[in-house]
Amino acid sequence: MLNKKVSDLLNEQINKELYSAYLYLDMNNYFDKRGLAGFANWYMIQAMEERDHAMLIYKYMQNNDCPIVLNAIAKPDKKFKKDMDVLKAGLEHEEYVTASIHTIYDAASKVKDFRTMQFLDWFVKEQGEEETNARDMISKMELFGSDPRSLYMLNQELAARTYSAPSLVLD
């Protein structure tokens, strides 16, 4: 059994990760409607990864006998008027999730919960990668987004992204 605060924060994180999946589905849908299937693919894979993050925390909590409460997942309410709105919302959201992971890490550290800290190490690294990916998307769009031919090429590039299961595995 983990410290209550740590356990409560992990429980909230399950919800945040599932909300992330919801948000990325909304972004997938935006690009699907735009006819940019490569971008849509990229965000679909993001959504799948977020679901995986939620499942990892869920499993970790189960393994440690934590009470799990599955709360309602909020409706994604961001309005996207143009492609860049989606990309910027993605980066902003990842920065928010990073801060949230760091908050749990900090709580675990305060009660010397080394197991949770080690578990969260994977997430700390993952968030660094997520933010880099989100920034790369913005840079590419800034460079190529205004030219239809370049946008087509970028869309092709993003279509090649494939899903792979998380490198962290919990038994």
Residue 23 CA, distance from chain mean position? 9
Binding site for Mg ion (CB under 5 A): 17, 50, 53
Nearest residue (CB) to Mg ion, 85 versus 131: 131
Report the chain's terminal Cα–Cα distance, integer Å: 17
Q: Which amino acid is at 66?
A: C
Q: CB of residue 41 vs Mg ion: minimum separation in angstroms?
A: 18
3-state secondary structure of 132: helix
Q: Please identify, using beta-carbon distances, which residue of 14 and 141 lies nearer to Mg ion.
A: 14
Q: Cβ 164 to Mg ion, closest distance in Å?
A: 15
Instruction: Decide: 40 and 28 in contact? Cβ < 8 Å.
Output: yes
Minimum distance of Mg ion from residue 100's CB (angstroms): 9
Phi, psi of 68 (to 5 degrees): -115, 130
Query: Between residues 17 and 155, which has the closer beta carbon with respect to Mg ion?
Result: 17
